[in-house]
Structure 1
Amino acid sequence: MVTNNTALPQLAGALSEQHRNDPSDSIKELTMKPLTSASANEIWPRTDSSRLALKPLAAALLGATLLTACGGDDDNPAAIENGDFVGNWISAEDGQALKVESNKVTSYQYTAGHCLIDQSTTGNQADLGKQGWTLNTDNTSLTLKTNHLGTSYIDISYQKADELPAQCADDKLLTQYFEDDFEADPARDYQIFWDTFNEYYPSFARRGVDWETINSTYSGQISNDMSEPEFFQVLAQMVQPLQDSHISLENGDAEASFMRGETFDDRLLAEFLESDQVDGAIDTDAEYQAYMAYIGTQYQLMNEIRTSYATNDIQQAANDELLWYKVEQDGSSVGVLIINAMDGFLEDADEAENLAEIKADMDALETAIVQVLTDLKDTEGLIIDLRDNPGGHDVNSQVLVRHFLDTERTLYSKQSRLGNDRTDLEVIRLSPAELTYTKPVVILTSPMTESAAEVFTMAMSALPHVTVLGERSQGALADTLEKQLPDGTNFTLVNEYYLSSDGDWYEGQGIPVAAEIPFMTLEEREEEEDLGLETAWEAITE
């Protein structure tokens, strides 16, 4: 093991604050029964909301600029300056529609049989042109895209339509829980939930789930007199077999999400259940608090071990989401860059909610990665540690990738499910940034490498000087599609295929690794060593 010459007490506290895997935020009401190793991957995750629904760009922008409130500047009767935006717009692959009027934008979510109003806004907030939306040359396509800092990202497109979907006619719209005339209807809401996945979700076969069988199993459990928690429980049980970390459900205090494979959190739970602090299950508050304390201690230990190899001062930037240092030994010098997330790079900033905030987040990351690569320019190789990175925005992944390109390259492509077909491929092709690092790079991943962190890994895998080690990533690359039910249940799913530069589809499988190295086993923690980092060092220096 490489020894550390840098004192870390102040750093350990900072890293501990970044640990986002506190299950207390997401167990909530659903943990009324004991938490055991058998139940660990059922309805309650061991991850908090930062891992639940990592919003794609469109969700952030739609949620903030178009649909933040039912209201706006009603004193401006013609807020939309470009009349070409006015009309009906449909995104068939997303099950979403827009009705754009001169002073109002209304968003709809629909399936083949149902439709409800998402939200609407009026006045100046309804001016899509000012919110970053663009029209094609013949005004038949409405698109939200980002091309900041050399990135290439089309997040959502709507096509001009003469009419809204028939089910979105005013007399067919569903009433919702906040409306006076709302009547609870579990059978209807169950059908909307099942239909949404049936019409848009692309990965049933990949994840080994027969959705028709799920319907046969659970539809009979729905009744008009069931409670709201009982209904929520059924929905969560329906999607649990998919083990898709981009599927989440939320209604009030009840939350549910899922993970694939054995994660570091799974190992911690198994270790605790085998300890003398419990008898095979966590079923009291005292035992739960002891479990939480064990998680916190082990995460702090894990982070201390990951940084114990530093032979210089450890640096942090981008709201402490990037951490880097050098390992200099036996005449070799290797850089280590730990990236904790793919968003949240501005200090004291909430999740980016409009185009300006997203660009500011990208700018903060750009500044940080330039600082990193400037500090590490004289190293002979770089280890990028993504083993505890839940993802964020793909645009930030692209910002990073550009700094490792040797030439303009096609890195990956994406398309959406469209009924029994797919939309046209969107090809992601990027050019190098001004400052690049093209020496050997080893990326470390684990099942806790998710979403945009996986997109970064997949894109980097197309480069000749990059190797991926560790464990397969989570296998949840596609953007989340946010939906809601009339009863107030919010849920996410995916409807996309992300394909590597070679056309490989890693959803539900994870990005493959050149060598399998489990992330921070109990034995490693007891020995205070990181076999992943040590193997990556050897791959670069030997």
Structure 2
Amino acid sequence: MKRSGYIRKTFGLILFALMATVSCTETAYVPATFENTPIGNFKALWNIMDRHYCFFDLKKRELGVDWDSVYVKYEKLIDKDMSDLSLYEVLNNMLRELKDGHVNLYGYYDVGRNWTWKTDYPSNYSAEIRSYYLGNDYFIAAAGYNYIILPDNIGYMTIESFSNVISESKLDAIISWFALCNGIIIDLRENGGGIVSEAEKVAARFTEEKVLAGYMKYKTGPGRNDFSDAMPIYLEPASTQLRWQKPVALLVNRGCFSSANDFTVKMKALPNVTVFGDRTGGGGGLPISSELPNGWSIRFSSAPMFDADMNDIEGGVDPDVWVSLTDSDRAKNVDTLIETARKWINDKIINP
């Protein structure tokens, strides 16, 4: 682990990390003065977050979380004779105040997490109903990439995760198979993220020109508001491979997090794409990691990302068309989101 001093990340380094993986292993500064005691580990964790976490203003504005008050609240719970398990519970509860899905405490007992970005909302999704649309004879391009042509000549594909690598040749095969279709439905629901470069690889198949997709800031110092100016993020078309220019309906729900959230931002910036469903789960901060004196690891959001209009995407991305899976449709094994997207594509054919 790197402990030599505060890391002043260059924008190029941040972009490299962003393109490589959301599970970034870049490490943050750990002050050497903190001892491996309950209070030492508590102070180390609070200070690491204080210097490097990127959403304090947002969390205070939206959740009323004051990080200094959090210190006072949880310091009272630290005892020099407390067990490791008790310490872990206190530290994890302190981090849960932030309600950030990219904040995780990796201890010997558990991985601390907060999934309220997903669990506090309706799923607007049924795996059983989706299986009726896929049937038994669908194609599998890669793990989680399933596709088929629906009876009304609309391509339907699922992307269940961006953790799995899909080759450019397999993306070519999907687009070739859909070539005569009137449009494509991409079902992103329940995609919890993965490798950002994989998400960008897929999005690049749906544009013919370089498009401003969003912005990112990065930390320039230990102050809570020490950020760079907003740096533009562009989506560029796939260079030599096949690209799709007919209508695309992207289906999202609260289960779309991290790189799936980023994928939604990029796709929403494209003129041939309309997003249907619910707000995504968010996860709009590039995560990095650090380590406490006792060896526990902490992961947290370090660089905030925004859409093309400079809207913060930590709390999710709104769809263009809000659609919920209705109880009446669910009872009939009908997916309201898929049917709404099919109607939109068919209407586009009649009234382009």
Fold shared by both chains (TM-score > 0.5): yes
Alpha-carbon distance between aligned partners in 2 of 1:374 and 1:390, rounded to the nearest angstrom: 27
| Contact 2:54/2:285, CA 8 A, preserved across alignment | no
Structure 1 residue 477, shift from structure 2 partner: 2.3
SS at match of 1:417: coil
Task: Let me know the Cα RMSD of the aligned residues.
Answer: 3.1
Number of matched pairs: 332
SS at match of 1:423: coil
2:273 is matched with: 466
Alignment of 1:35-184 (within 5 A): 91-92=7-8, 143=13, 172=32, 184=36
Structure 1 residue 368, shift from structure 2 partner: 2.3
CA 1:185/1:153 → structure 2, altered by over 3 Å: closer, same or farther?
Answer: closer
CA offsets per residue over residues 80-105 of structure 1, 9 Å max, x none? xxxxxxxx8962359xxxxxxxxxxx
Pick aligned residue for 1:336 from 132, 146, 156: 156
2:304 is matched with: 497
| Contact 1:340/1:388, CA 8 A, preserved across alignment | yes
Unpaired segments ≥5 residues, structure 2: 348-352
Pick aligned residue for 1:253 from 92, 102, 109: 109
Structure 1 residue 525, shift from structure 2 partner: 4.2
Alpha-carbon distance between aligned partners in 1 of 2:298 and 2:168, rounded to the nearest angstrom: 32
| Contact 1:145/1:154, CA 8 A, preserved across alignment | no
Q: Residue 529 of structure 1 aligns to which amino acid in structure 2?
A: V
SS at match of 2:150: strand
1:370 is matched with: 172
Structure 1 residue 186, shift from structure 2 partner: 0.8
Structure 1 residue 452, shift from structure 2 partner: 0.6
Q: Residue 516 of structure 1 aligns to which amino acid in structure 2?
A: W
Structure 1 residue 145, shift from structure 2 partner: 6.3
SS at match of 1:305: helix
Alignment of 1:376-525 (within 5 A): 376-418=178-220, 419=223, 420-433=225-238, 434-507=241-314, 509-518=315-324, 524-525=329-330
SS at match of 2:140: strand
Alpha-carbon distance between aligned partners in 2 of 1:536 and 1:192, rounded to the nearest angstrom: 49
| Contact 1:321/1:339, CA 8 A, preserved across alignment | yes
Tell whether 2:66 aligns with 1:200: no
Alpha-carbon distance between aligned partners in 2 of 1:309 and 1:142, rounded to the nearest angstrom: 43
Structure 1 residue 201, shift from structure 2 partner: 1.4
Pick aligned residue for 1:307 from 84, 107, 131: 131
Alpha-carbon distance between aligned partners in 1 of 2:261 and 2:13, rounded to the nearest angstrom: 25
SS at match of 2:204: helix
Structure 1 residue 430, shift from structure 2 partner: 3.6
CA offsets per residue over residues 337-363 of structure 1, 9 Å max, x none? 100111223xxxxxxxxxxxxxxxxxx
Pick aligned residue for 1:235 from 91, 96, 100: 91
Q: Which moved more, 1:414-423 or 1:424-433?
A: 424-433
Please report the TM-score for the alignment, with normalisation by the length of structure 2.
Answer: 0.84
| Contact 2:207/2:244, CA 8 A, preserved across alignment | yes
| Contact 1:152/1:430, CA 8 A, preserved across alignment | no
SS at match of 1:336: strand
Tell whether 2:339 aligns with 1:537: no
1:322 is matched with: 145
SS at match of 1:416: coil
Higher strand share: 1
Alpha-carbon distance between aligned partners in 1 of 2:12 and 2:205, rounded to the nearest angstrom: 31
Alpha-carbon distance between aligned partners in 2 of 1:412 and 1:436, rounded to the nearest angstrom: 21
Q: Taking CA–CA contacts closer than 8 Å with sequence separation of 6 or more, which of the two structures ends up with the larger relative contact order?
A: 2
| Contact 1:385/1:444, CA 8 A, preserved across alignment | yes
CA 1:529/1:142 → structure 2, altered by over 3 Å: closer, same or farther?
Answer: closer
Unpaired segments ≥5 residues, structure 1: 1-62, 68-87, 95-140, 159-164, 175-182, 269-298, 346-363
Structure 1 residue 502, shift from structure 2 partner: 2.1
